[in-house]
Structure 1
Amino acid sequence: MKRIVILALVLAAAGLPATGCGSTGRTTLAVESAPDAPAASTPAADHNGKDVMFAQMMIPHHRQAVEMAKLAEGRAVSDQVKELAGKIEAAQEPEIRTMSGWLTAWGAQVPGERGMPMDHDMPGMMSGQAMEELKGLKGAAFDRAFLTMMIQHHEGAVAMAGQEQAEGVHEPARRMAADIVAGQSAEIATMRRLLR
């Protein structure tokens, strides 16, 4: 009797049924109770559609902000505007790379340099005409247009990030969204002061 009990314990430890082929109950139980099922740790298990949308929309949104910021170097007259533009570029380029990595890991489309079809629906995005007008300005006129446009741009990003905080589940994306809300809200306040 002891041998049967020991054999049953050895087989159970190995995940094999202790009875004949006709009994599948224990095998099923062993699989169901196995800790750390692989599906729980896959990239697909830690995000939802809102996370994908956040990254796909924020990448082209950030790219436009970086494009605007780069214009300031040769066109702005205010050192404060140039400094702010440098901060925007330094903060948003790494975020673009991070979000692109998420999308790749999730098997989702990474927006190309020309963006995606929904770009025009994004809050705060500048039209092509507005961007061309900004490129044609220099000095104080550039500074004023840049600040006015970037406030609108940042307000759009804050709104999108707030939606991710409310509906996304990917913790790194939610943390980035919180950083965007905090950082860009502070920059909006700075830009409003500079416009006075």
Structure 2
Amino acid sequence: MNWPSLLMLVFIGLALVLIGYLVGTASVKPAGPADADIIFAAELSTHHALAMRMAGLAGQYSDDPEIRHVAFEIETDRIEQAGRVKGWSDVWKQPPQTAKDVERPALDRVDPAEVTALRRLTGTEFDIAFLQLMLRHDETGIALAKLAVTKARTSAVRVHAKTVRAQQMTEVETLESLLAARTSRTSRY
């Protein structure tokens, strides 16, 4: 066999491999999101909006630098995550959903009225109430993330849910420590 014939066979072989790949990938579409993915995105969006609201209040009403710092961290983190979830909804071409549009796997343990009531508090009383509400709120986030880890179809959602769960578990430890320090101060009087 001469070189031109060999080159022609190699070219034909590569063309067949490429055609096979293109036909194979065209017929196998990636799986779209499952209901669990969509519910997680919708719930996390609603959940984070409430966290950002609470953190924003702490930034405004707390005089304690530690509380203001943790509130800033919470707000910044939740803004980034809310953007990510919005991106998923855009890619999935899912309309923005509110909590009433989907089955709620883990009802938030914080009533928005409790958040509004924070505005009437000041000083250590505000700080303690903020920490208690945020702790209850994070427990809901952990439960929501745990559900998504086991039920979500898309790997991006599962990976993000694992990250959310780990991050909020760490945050719970921080909030508990801050709360313990403030409740021990108030119980001395």
- Report TM bin, short chain: 0.7 to 0.9
The gaps in structure 2 that reach 5 residues or longer are 1-11, 181-189
Residue identity matched to 1:139: G
Residue identity matched to 2:26: A
**Equivalent residues in 2 for 1:137-148, closer than 5 Å:** 137-148=121-132
| Cα deviation 1:15-60 (Å, max 9, x = unaligned) | xxxxxxxxxxxxxxx99x932125524xxx2421100000011101
Shift of 1:178: 0.9
Hey, what does 2:99 align to over in structure 1?
116
Structure 1 position 190 matched with structure 2 position 174: yes
Structure 1 position 97 matched with structure 2 position 83: yes
SS at match of 1:110: coil
Matched-pair contact (CA < 8 Å) for 1:61–1:125:
no
Matched-pair contact (CA < 8 Å) for 2:34–2:153:
yes
Hey, what does 2:26 align to over in structure 1?
37
Residue identity matched to 1:63: A
Hey, what does 1:62 align to over in structure 2?
48
Aligned in 2, Cα 1:119/1:51: closer, same or farther, shift over 3 Å?
closer
**Bigger relative contact order, structure 1 or 2 (CA pairs below 8 A, ≥6 apart):** 2
Hey, what does 1:53 align to over in structure 2?
39
Residue identity matched to 1:116: A
Shift of 1:163: 0.3
Hey, what does 2:93 align to over in structure 1?
107
Shift of 1:104: 1.8
Structure 1 position 153 matched with structure 2 position 142: no
Residue identity matched to 2:174: T
Residue identity matched to 1:88: I
Greater share of residues in helix: 2
Identical positions, percent:
25
Structure 1 position 77 matched with structure 2 position 63: yes
How many equivalent pairs are there?
A: 164
The gaps in structure 1 that reach 5 residues or longer are 1-9, 15-29
Between the aligned partners of 1:118 and 1:139, the Cα distance in structure 2 is 38
Shift of 1:77: 2.3
SS at match of 1:47: coil
